Structure 1
């Protein structure tokens, strides 16, 4: 395991489970001190060098306070990994405005709020942001209008910040996973009465067709490291060929 994060501090949203938990563990194993944000308790088997903070990413004040606490605890901030997200599957005409707002608030607005709070500290360290979007954010995705719109917004936000903060030495990139074995995937209730013509849409070419969270975490760790100095603005698909 490389130690690309010795002496560095990373902030990971959605760190209680899935890709976020795997990312926090990967960064810790590479030498980082890690602050994990989540609305659920964050625990990595009591490992040292981990601080868990409960935070609702929809709440502007909570996000600002959590980032401030992270910097106070770590003394600096070198990487923000925005992993937190929610998904839902439904026919577009069945999506309520409340559900639309919830999905955009957590996936997109929460990512923006975390970036906005963290960027002044990342400018100071010439650090990096890695956002987690989705294959659904770069191509059409069945029964996922709100989720796709939110993740496409994350891709656009990533590219915009990459341009704006390049003169300050801050790199911004994102990963777009396809199907990953996480609680989000396992708990997703399929939309009823699905059109059978869409059954094979965006199917991975590899076997097994579902990625492990650790595989996505490895990509995040790379993009956030100095080895990815020239990858600012990158949108990396990790979809097993589903988007080919």
Structure 2
């Protein structure tokens, strides 16, 4: 049975992805540093099991991957979804805040990928890194977050270029605004309306829609796709700097 590791799997996109992998018959290692929430959700996923891990800690990453291999004997897909968001003006982003974001979003993605390579090489496999639309276009208040996600996109390309000869594919999903519980809790009605105006599909995406894209890139259906960045964003990135008002043709 194929095995997937999904980091940041206690909630949101990671949890939706773990559920979809399981529904498609995969074993799934749900990895997160929120032990309490992980213990709550993992039992509800067939072929799913929890592994506590802070991916910014090399020793914990080594132990996590070893545990997955000991339990399943293989790794066929790695979804680097774990990440933290810290929004604020550049002047107020001190180095501690910058490093905290980079430690998980970039360093953690690098660490987990590197430790998984030997297992992925055995039968070929897929790495799917989760970036963000903020890694593709600049925006305010995201100096650390956006920069970390842009780096994840470049890391994906490096992985694709170097690991392809081993039969390992590496791709990146860049979510746009997604209707997660956290987003809905912090986005005001004004922000939601503005996003709807700016997104050609006029709505937020769902966690399940992101999971569909992620599991596709991890599957054999994407066997000749590597080094790509897929923006799952309702067309948000395609509009560039265009203002919603300018996209409306006068009658």
Q: Which residue of 2 aligns with 1:156?
A: 154
Q: Name the SS of the counterpart of 2:198 in structure 1.
A: coil
Pair 1:219 & 2:217 matched: no
**Which of 108, 111, 114 pairs up with 1:113?**
111
Contact 1:11-1:37 at 8 Å conserved across structures:
yes
Pair 1:206 & 2:195 matched: no
Q: Name the SS of the counterpart of 1:88 in structure 2.
A: coil
More deviation, 41-50/119-128? 41-50
State the shift of 1:182 in Å.
1.9
Q: Name the SS of the counterpart of 2:44 in structure 1.
A: coil
Q: Which structure features the higher share of helix residues?
A: 2
Number of residue pairs aligned between Structure 1 and Structure 2? 230
**Which of 217, 229, 234 pairs up with 2:228?**
234
Contact 2:42-2:49 at 8 Å conserved across structures:
no
Question: RMSD of the TM alignment (CA)?
Answer: 1.9
Q: Which residue of 2 aligns with 1:195?
A: none
Q: Which residue of 2 aligns with 1:79?
A: 77
**Which of 138, 141, 144 pairs up with 1:140?**
138
Label 1:188 to 1:67 Cα distance change in 2 as closer, same or farther (>3 A): farther
Contact 2:43-2:49 at 8 Å conserved across structures:
no
Partners in 1 of 2:86 and 2:223 — Cα distance?
35
Partners in 1 of 2:182 and 2:120 — Cα distance?
29
State the shift of 1:75 in Å.
1.0
Partners in 2 of 1:59 and 1:45 — Cα distance?
25
Partners in 1 of 2:63 and 2:171 — Cα distance?
24
Label 1:23 to 1:137 Cα distance change in 2 as closer, same or farther (>3 A): same
Q: Which residue of 2 aligns with 1:3?
A: none
Partners in 2 of 1:202 and 1:71 — Cα distance?
46
Partners in 2 of 1:45 and 1:176 — Cα distance?
29
Label 1:9 to 1:203 Cα distance change in 2 as closer, same or farther (>3 A): same
Partners in 1 of 2:199 and 2:143 — Cα distance?
20
Q: Deviations over 1:24-52 (max 9, x none)?
A: 00000000000010011322453331110
Q: Which residue of 1 aligns with 2:128?
A: 130
Q: Which residue of 1 aligns with 2:7?
A: 13
Partners in 1 of 2:74 and 2:96 — Cα distance?
37
State the shift of 1:201 in Å.
11
Contact 2:74-2:119 at 8 Å conserved across structures:
yes
Label 1:186 to 1:55 Cα distance change in 2 as closer, same or farther (>3 A): farther
Q: Name the SS of the counterpart of 1:142 in structure 2.
A: coil
Q: Which residue of 2 aligns with 1:64?
A: 62
Q: Which residue of 2 aligns with 1:172?
A: 170
More deviation, 37-46/136-145? 37-46
Label 1:126 to 1:116 Cα distance change in 2 as closer, same or farther (>3 A): same
Structure with greater Cα Rg = 2
Partners in 1 of 2:197 and 2:102 — Cα distance?
22
Q: Which one has more relative contact order, counting CA pairs under 8 Å at least 6 apart? A: 1
Taking structure 2 as the reference length, what is the TM-score of the superposition? Answer: 0.87
